[in-house]
Structures are given as structure tokens and as C-alpha cells.
Amino acid sequence: MAQAVQITQKDFSSDQDVRWCPGCGDYSILANVQRVMPELGVRRENFVFVSGIGCSSRFPYYMNTYGFHTIHGRAPSIATGIKCARPELSVWVVTGDGDGMSIGGNHLLHTIRRNVDIQILLFNNRVYGLTKGQYSPTSRVGMNTKSSPEGSIDYPIQPLAFALGAGATFVARTVDVDAPHLQETLRRAHEHRGTAFVEILQNCHVFNDDEWIEVEDRKQRIDAGMKVVDGAPLVYGSEGARRGIRIEDGVPSVIELADGQDPVAAGVAVHRERYETPAYAFALASLARPEFPLPTGVFRAIENPSYEALLSAQVASARVQRGKGDLEALLSSGDTWTVEA
């Protein structure tokens, strides 16, 4: 680990010029990822960043690690192959709402379901950026774009609900410009064994500016956002306007809290990352503005053996039971006969 101690954020910057639009939320995410990497106790050569297609998918070019910029939507599958082949590597997928939720939805679903031990960072800006501004699968109904001049009539998908539905063992949400929270979420995602799915709310300055301003702006965030913490009640809001979230029979509601009132006694739900069923996390994922605050943090984190670990265990156990494969014995197995000269 000697090297891990010495390397710094700078060691993770590649020699390539970063080419996102000025004001793009990706800059902040890149800086924070590079900042966290040296703290993770992983040698630089053991990091692999894999991406698909889209603005976010340029990410690996700017990381001085191993990187693979692949094809649209397929990054989770390529990452699955990498992790199965080399379980010791730290594999990170960078995707977007179009790449991950639209063309790559199937791969994302099955990768999460298998619980492959990788980190999936989904940058959600609710628009197609690289193709210049069409509505995406997470865009709001009614959004006017070049391909929806009369407003989008697609109902949006909620990435965290999708991940929970696929049986995700780790689901979190954070915000591009909230550096400490973003970094802490990345650390947690890395610690998790299994698929860590992180939605990063990210601003597209050019095609969907200020989509997440309520949680990006420090002041607005206090009343419009809610950071969830394991074991703490779901409370938010500024002094004098504190509120909490009650979840009853899976249905959330807002409770106004008086000064000094005990939120738990008032019926506010206590956040737990390890509820047996994902129903609570699903309810959390359904909270949307303006009726509710937008929650961020780790929604769910449970333990389950990861796919590549189970696969490697099968290989190891086959070797214990049957010995290392003997090709000569295989080719001569079953009925054979000899033709004499």
C-alpha cells in the first residue's frame, strides 16, 4: 500500500484536455472522483473506468487509470466481463440517463440484479447532451426539446426506483456540486461489496440548465433537499420551518415540526439502510419536488455475495473436487478405441 499513500489527486489526471462545455457539472464530479481515489487504498493500476456513450462517458479519458470508452449502453456488460476475469480490480462504470436508462437499460438491470461488485455512477441531467438536447428517459413530462417541440409525452423513469426494482444492494444519490457529500458517497460506494448504484444529479448548463438548482444551490438545498443518514429521522428544512417525512403503508407524507419537537415521537420515519425489504427505500426514491424534498444519501445498503465472487468460488471448488483440468483426460473421456497400425 506504500504507493497508495503517496499518490494524490493529481496522479489521477490524464494528459488529455477535458472537453466538456464550460459550466458542466461533470467537471465537479471529475475533480471529486480524482480527489477520493487516492484515499481508497487501491493501487492506481488496479482502477478501471468503463463508460458507454454520451457526455458523461468521456470520463475515462480524463482519469489516469485504465479506462475503456465503449459503446452506447454496454458499459455494465463490459465491466461485468472485466470484474469476472479479474475480481481484484476496482471497476467503475460511468454512465448517463440516456446511456444507462435508455439504450443500456437491459444491461443495467441485469448487472444490478447479479450484484457484480462494481460501482455504477449514473450522471442524471435529464437530457441528451452529446446529441444536442433531445429529451431523455428521465426528462419531465412536457419538456420542450428539438425532438419534443410540443412537450415530451414520455413518463420519466426514476433511476433509483429502477435500481431497487432490480434488487440493488446499494443505492445512493448525491449532487454534482456538493463536494463533501459526493466524496462521502463515493467512499461508501467503494466500500460496498456488490453493485453500488449511485445517481449523481448533474447540471447540463447548455441544454437543461438549473434542472437541479434546488439541491445544487446551498440555500435552496436546506428546504428542498433532505440528506438521509443511517439511524437518523427523515428531517429537513431551515430553523423555524423544520419538517419530517412519515411513511405509512408505503405512503409518504410531510409532517410540520414545531420548535424542539421530537421528530420520532411525531411519527417521522427513521432512516435505515438495511430494512429487510426495499419498500422503504422505494418510497424514499419516489419523493419528488415540489411536494417533497429531494432526498440524497445512501438509501439502501445490504450484504449479498457478489456475482464474480460466486463465480470464482465455483472455479475454486471445481478445482478442489476434480483437480486442475486435465486436457488429455478430457479428450479421452468416455468411449474410445484404438486403431492398430
Which residue ranges make up the site for another protein (CB under 8 A)? 3, 14, 16, 43-48, 50, 53, 60-61, 63-71, 74, 77-86, 88-89, 106-107, 109-110, 311, 314-315, 318-319, 321-325, 327-328, 330-332, 334-341
| Burial of 328: CB neighbours in 10 Å, binned 0-12, 13-18, 19+ | exposed
CB of 290: closest distance to another protein in angstroms? 37
Max distance between CA atoms of the chain, in angstroms, equals 100
Query: What is the DSSP secondary structure assignment for residue 279, as one 8-state letter?
Result: H
At how many degrees (to 10) do helices 26-36 and 179-191 cross?
50
Answer for the pair 74, 52: CB distance below 8 angstroms, yes or no: yes
d(CA 179, CA 186): 11
CB of 207: closest distance to another protein in angstroms? 21
Q: End-to-end distance of the chain based on CA atoms, in angstroms?
A: 62
Q: CB-wise, 255 or 311, nearer to another protein? A: 311
d(CA 72, CA 130): 12
Query: What is the DSSP secondary structure assignment for residue 63, as one 8-state letter?
Result: B
Q: CB-wise, 266 or 309, nearer to another protein? A: 309
CB of 41: closest distance to another protein in angstroms? 15
d(CA 326, CA 331): 9
Answer for the pair 171, 281: CB distance below 8 angstroms, yes or no: yes
Q: CB-wise, 277 or 338, nearer to another protein? A: 338
CB of 118: closest distance to another protein in angstroms? 10
Q: CB-wise, 109 or 254, nearer to another protein? A: 109
d(CA 124, CA 87): 28
Q: CB-wise, 63 or 301, nearer to another protein? A: 63
Q: CB-wise, 131 or 261, nearer to another protein? A: 131
CB of 69: closest distance to another protein in angstroms? 3
CB of 45: closest distance to another protein in angstroms? 4
| Burial of 309: CB neighbours in 10 Å, binned 0-12, 13-18, 19+ | middle
Q: CB-wise, 55 or 245, nearer to another protein? A: 55
Q: CB-wise, 15 or 291, nearer to another protein? A: 15
Q: Residues 6 or more apart from 138 whose CB is under 8 A from it?
A: 97, 101, 124, 126, 156, 157, 158, 159
C-alpha cell recorded at residue 163: 435500481
In degrees rounded to 5, what are phi and psi of residue 175?
Answer: -125, 140
CB of 336: closest distance to another protein in angstroms? 4
CB of 97: closest distance to another protein in angstroms? 20
C-alpha angle 203/209/211, rounded to 5°?
A: 70
